[in-house]
Structure 1
Amino acid sequence: MAEKIPTTSKQWNVTGSDGFDSLKFTEQAVPELGDNQVLVKIRGVSLNSRDILVAQGTYPWKVKPDVIPGSDGAGVVLKIGKNVTRFQPGDQVITMLNQQHLGGSLDPKTMRYGLGASVDGTLRTVGAFDEQGLVAMPQGLSFAEAATLTCAGLTAWNALFGLQGRPLMAGQWVLTQGTGGVSLFAIQFAKAVGAKVIATTSSNEKSKILKEKLGVDHIVNYRETPNWGEKAKSLTGGAGVDLVVEVAGPSSLKQSVESVKMDGIISVLGFVGGMESKEPLPSILECWMSLFTARGIWVGSRLQLEDMCRAIEGNPQKLRPIVDKVFKLEELKDALGYLASGNHQGKVCIEVP
């Protein structure tokens, strides 16, 4: 039986640049459905640091006035526009951050369609989305779990398997940082293909999830071992790691360079450790001096997301997303505050009624 199509949607909007005080929760009319759009009942949302930057007015790319934030969502199709061919009412779907990035490399045109910034996002009960910016949700996951795939899951997948001709392979070494969503996904994907993982963390408490739940091969506490790059290299027998999943940014880049092997790869994904560094930052010349490839990544394409979803659907228990805590839609400010605290181990999600 088809779900009843509501006439109103509860939603959050970013009405300024004053952080969480800029977030306003209201009930508005459901948007009119375009010919190429899909009306989705949102059931789960996953939060990212990007959502905090949008609320603060510090997101470095275009943000439309009064935007509905949130890039990561999962839900059920309620209705389709007359030209839509990829979905039918009742289908379960997840959103893409870059709505027009279907395959290949990003370009300035596809970058203009960023969900939750330049395009209204997922922090609402009902939304209209371009059919090209949705993919089928993997079976066997909850809506909250599936929502985590949009950004963190896809970014990790791209970091490990997205460099043409050089996907991660069994027996190689991967270094991850911390217990955020991207890092935990990277560990899961790496272990699934038979790679070995070294993970850095700031506390012994956080190391439990890495060792006991995810089977990380070695854990290095970067507070106790400031020169963790050298330590990581020694754990590989002195050769260095094949691939670094670099999420911390300036505060860790020097150590990432120290850890990587000759002809290795550093996938640079963000700056969750802040923009400040106590050490001089490595220059582009380091790529030549140490013979490694540094690769910047902004999430990934729809083709990559579909590949990842098939892998997860084929082994949902081993690759089940790790959700730390789930909040209600009206508790968004509390959820973002918890995310900003850095105490989470896994993804922070929103359950939508």
Structure 2
Amino acid sequence: MTSDTMKAWRLPQFGIGNLGLDRVKRPRPGPKDVLVRTKAVSLNYRDKLVVEGGLLPAQPKMPFIPVSDFCGVVAETGDDVASFSVGDRVMGNFWTEWIDGPPPHSMLQHGASLGGPLPGALSEYIVIPESVAVAAPSNLTDEEASTLPIAALTGWFALTETARVGAGQFVLVQGTGGVSLAGMQIAAALGARVIVLSRSTAKIEKTLELGAHDGIDTSTAADWPRRVMELTDGHGVDHILEVIGGSNLSRSLEAIAAQGQISLIGFLEGMDARISAVPFMLRRARLQGVSVGHRHAFERLVRFIEGKEIHPVIDTVFSFEDARRAFNEINEGPFGKIVIQIDAKQ
């Protein structure tokens, strides 16, 4: 490496208008760290909330580099690193303290997560602990791999780690954002029959091409739970990826099958949600909170993606210099992920 500086997008204070491209000192890896030359990052709705000053349990140190998800190449390793070598393609697990099993209590207290409150990846280089690094799938480009750490792992964790979705079961996904489409692809590859909710017939057609079994246009079928029951011959869906939250949760309960699971992932409609207790009890349904997943689950996801030849859906790829425009694109309802390419000099 020929320079000890790098370019990074930083926030001196919250607000997308304050996001600026600076030249800063390049970080150095500690004994158990890897320095990653960032090749691509992908944006999540969470990143937008963080930049706007919301969501975080602890405030990051300013100026702050945002964005959680990335793929890059190991540029340097600490003296005690054994698992990775210079040149390896890696991603970073979102929860830096969650390796396996139940989340540690320390994680629940202060939320040690990449892209807030810990420094993020919207820069030419990032340092992460060796324990956080996950080898990128061999069948994916850097841009595709950058979409996995939050969106795909969330879908995977909901469908396979907290439940056991299998062939012939019905899975419902809401919308065509990153988590929903990743969940759709995973569920279809597991042999499930996927139903997609969307307000766009054009987007529904795209999901059918990608492996969805049915789609419901909620702009014309406001009573979508009834339509779900028709499509499933009265059975209901066995698993729902609930990304809307709010009052929509009660509607999901109308569509869930007996002993089905609703994975509460998002809160686009609001942080608070209420459901009717009686149908919840009669259906013996499960409401499972999902907040991404641990590193071992991420490694299992990578093997699954390689084995099934799954390629994440990317809506638009922006240049590094267009990062602010990429954030604005999140509000436009993209079909899949928004990605930013980063061309760091070695």
What interval of TM-score do these two structures reach, taking the shorter chain for normalisation? over 0.9
Superposed CA deviations along residues 187-223 of structure 1, whole A, max 9, x for unmatched, are 11111111101110011122121112x1211111112
Superposed CA deviations along residues 17-50 of structure 1, whole A, max 9, x for unmatched, are 2x21121210101112211110000001010011
* 8 Å Cα contact 1:155-1:298 kept in structure 2: yes
Tell me which residue corresponds to 1:256.
252
Superposed CA deviations along residues 217-244 of structure 1, whole A, max 9, x for unmatched, are 1111112111111211221110111000
TM-score by length of 2: 0.94
TM alignment of 1:1-353, pairs within 5 A: 4=1, 6-17=3-14, 19-66=15-62, 67-111=64-108, 112-163=111-162, 166-212=163-209, 214-272=210-268, 274-275=269-270, 281-283=274-276, 287-316=280-309, 319-342=310-333, 344-353=334-343
Superposed CA deviations along residues 34-68 of structure 1, whole A, max 9, x for unmatched, are 11110000001010011111111112422313221
Query: Which region of structure 1 is more displaced relative to structure 2, 60-69 or 131-140?
Result: 60-69
* 8 Å Cα contact 2:319-2:342 kept in structure 1: yes
Q: Which amino acid in the other structure matches residue 51 of structure 1?
A: D
Structure-2 change in CA distance of 1:283 and 1:31 (3 Å): farther
**SS of corresponding position for 1:109:** helix
CA distance in 1, matches of 2:82, 2:280: 45
Segments of structure 2 that go 5 or more residues without pairing to the other structure are none
**SS of corresponding position for 1:88:** coil
**SS of corresponding position for 1:230:** helix
CA distance in 1, matches of 2:2, 2:39: 14
**SS of corresponding position for 1:267:** strand
Shift of 1:283: 5.0
**SS of corresponding position for 2:105:** coil
Structure-2 change in CA distance of 1:251 and 1:347 (3 Å): farther
Shift of 1:135: 0.3
CA distance in 2, matches of 1:63, 1:157: 29
* 8 Å Cα contact 1:22-1:55 kept in structure 2: no
**SS of corresponding position for 2:321:** helix
**SS of corresponding position for 2:116:** coil
Structure-2 change in CA distance of 1:28 and 1:41 (3 Å): same
Structure-2 change in CA distance of 1:65 and 1:137 (3 Å): same
Shift of 1:276: 7.9
Structure-2 change in CA distance of 1:26 and 1:252 (3 Å): same
* 8 Å Cα contact 1:15-1:65 kept in structure 2: no
CA distance in 2, matches of 1:134, 1:285: 45
* Aligned CA-pair RMSD: 1.6
Shift of 1:122: 0.7
* 8 Å Cα contact 2:56-2:117 kept in structure 1: no
* 8 Å Cα contact 2:40-2:341 kept in structure 1: yes
Structure-2 change in CA distance of 1:237 and 1:335 (3 Å): same
Aligned-residue sequence identity (percent) comes to 34
Q: Which amino acid in the other structure matches residue 281 of structure 2?
A: W
CA distance in 1, matches of 2:283, 2:25: 57
**SS of corresponding position for 1:313:** helix
Shift of 1:289: 3.5
* 8 Å Cα contact 2:74-2:87 kept in structure 1: yes
Q: Which amino acid in the other structure matches residue 242 of structure 1?
A: D
Structure-2 change in CA distance of 1:88 and 1:285 (3 Å): farther
CA distance in 1, matches of 2:49, 2:260: 32
Query: Which region of structure 1 is more displaced relative to structure 2, 199-208 or 280-289?
Result: 280-289
Structure-2 change in CA distance of 1:29 and 1:202 (3 Å): same
**SS of corresponding position for 2:58:** coil
> In the comparison of the two structures, how many residue pairs are matched?
340
